[in-house]
Amino acid sequence: MSIADLELLHLHKSFDNQEIVRNTSLTVNKGELCCLLGPSGCGKTTMLNIISGFLEPDEGSVLLGGQDITRVPPQQRNIGMVFQDYALFPHLPVYDNVAYGLKRRGWSKSRIHSSVGKILEMVQMSGYEKRSIHELSGGEQQRVALARALIIEPSLLLLDEPLSNLDARLRTDMRSEIRRIQQALSITTVYVTHDQEEAMSIADRIAVMNYGAIEQMGTSREIYEHPSTRFVADFIGKVNFIPGSIKDGKLQMLGMEFPLPSGEWPEDASVTCAIRPERIAVDNQISSHIHAIVQDITYLGAVVRYRVNIDNNTEAVQLIMDVPSSLASFLPGDEVPVTLPTGNLILFPDNQSD
């Protein structure tokens, strides 16, 4: 049974009469890594600052380990935090940066020395104790910042866009390192990012935020394969949207009739149908295939992405579809027999905004 470690209850926060966080609740289980994912301005960093104590909510509560810490000062919350710019002390060597929190707590020199050695070994920075911060690469600075946050043995770890200043290859390596360390310590963690791939690769669960509220909470697979809103479908990965309607208990789309994928829909309802590029099939053996014309091609390594046009004499629709590179032989101008498997379709009410 999962045990709630961090609970956010009905949080509200406004700046200049603009709601940044809107009646938002969230539970993070003990030892879980939860990502707050969303576009810039969605409220995810404000949420993190409320958890850390740098901001107080206008309404709502923050509970950590069952204790209400909403009005507890940041320095008394026993929370470790890694900032986007790392916030290391440039005038101090690595050792003193990492040891800073323990010195503030009055630990003995021998105890500090032992703890610094252990945490630097964990983040693979042993031997760097005397290095100046300006001598370190971005990835090394990130490891030092992580060590400094973890050495105080926090009840909760917060990370605010910790990889945004690193190049693509290093980001991939460092997110694996963060996950390894987080799992080794079984520390409850909240990780803020706008990068969908980063969130999906590192999180136990993801809270997708939009306009100050959580639109969906779930595992990477759940939010990708079963998005609860059009915004989530569009924000997580690539997706095609196709207008349709419900007639006689069937889905009418692209001038064709499809079985309803799931759920109950009122007659004559206007809907938007979503399908992922890799879920579109190419098969001329199926009688219900749709004729599409290839417009352009993008080679992405494992797959080739095709942009195709469909004109069924009632409306023109453009789709993107991903085909394994080993099977991709179409050229611009070619006609492609496209099928939309019913089990791969997701329906949203037409009045649901992005």
pLDDT over threshold 70, residue 285 = no
Within this chain, do residues 119 and 230 fall inside the same structural domain, yes or no? yes
SS3 29: strand
Within this chain, do residues 56 and 159 fall inside the same structural domain, yes or no? yes
Summarize pLDDT for 195-238 with one digit per residue, the tens. Answer: 999 999 999 999 999 999 999 999 999 999 999 999 999 999 99
Within this chain, do residues 250 and 226 fall inside the same structural domain, yes or no? no
Alpha-carbon distances, residue 130 vs 97, 133, 135, 257 (angstroms)? 10, 9, 10, 70
Alpha carbon distance 291, 87 (integer Å):
56
pLDDT band, very low/low/confident/very high, at 284 (cuts 50, 70, 90): low
218: in domain: yes
Within this chain, do residues 197 and 314 fall inside the same structural domain, yes or no? no
Chain mean position to CA 191: 9
pLDDT over threshold 70, residue 187 = yes
Question: Which of 209, 234, 259 corresponds to the end of one domain?
Answer: 234
Within this chain, do residues 57 and 157 fall inside the same structural domain, yes or no? yes
pLDDT over threshold 90, residue 35 = yes
Within this chain, do residues 189 and 295 fall inside the same structural domain, yes or no? no
CATH of the domain at 183: 3.40.50.300
Question: Which of 180, 207, 234 corresponds to the end of one domain?
Answer: 234
Q: What is the pTM of this model?
A: 0.90
* Chain position carrying tokens 């098969």: 283
Range of the domain at 260: 238-349
Within this chain, do residues 170 and 79 fall inside the same structural domain, yes or no? yes
For residue 317, what are its two tokens?
A: 């629709």
pLDDT over threshold 80, residue 181 = yes
354: in domain: no
Q: Which of 27-36, 169-178, 241-250 has the highest mean pLDDT?
A: 27-36
**Structural domain count of the chain:** 2
Cβ(196)–Cβ(182) below 8 Å: no
Within this chain, do residues 262 and 221 fall inside the same structural domain, yes or no? no
Angle (CA) 182 186 187, round 5°: 70
Other beta carbons within 10 Å of 106: 7
Other beta carbons within 10 Å of 225: 14
Within this chain, do residues 289 and 215 fall inside the same structural domain, yes or no? no
Q: How many residues does the chain have?
A: 354
CATH of the domain at 279: 2.40.50.100
Identify any residues that bridge with 106 across adjacent strands, giving them in sequence order. none
For residue 341, what are its two tokens?
A: 């498997």
Side-chain-side CA neighbours of 119 within 13 Å: the count stands at 27
For residue 222, what are its two tokens?
A: 């759940």
Summarize pLDDT for 81-104 with one digit per residue, the tens. Answer: 998 888 899 999 999 999 999 998
Within this chain, do residues 28 and 169 fall inside the same structural domain, yes or no? yes
Within this chain, do residues 329 and 263 fall inside the same structural domain, yes or no? yes
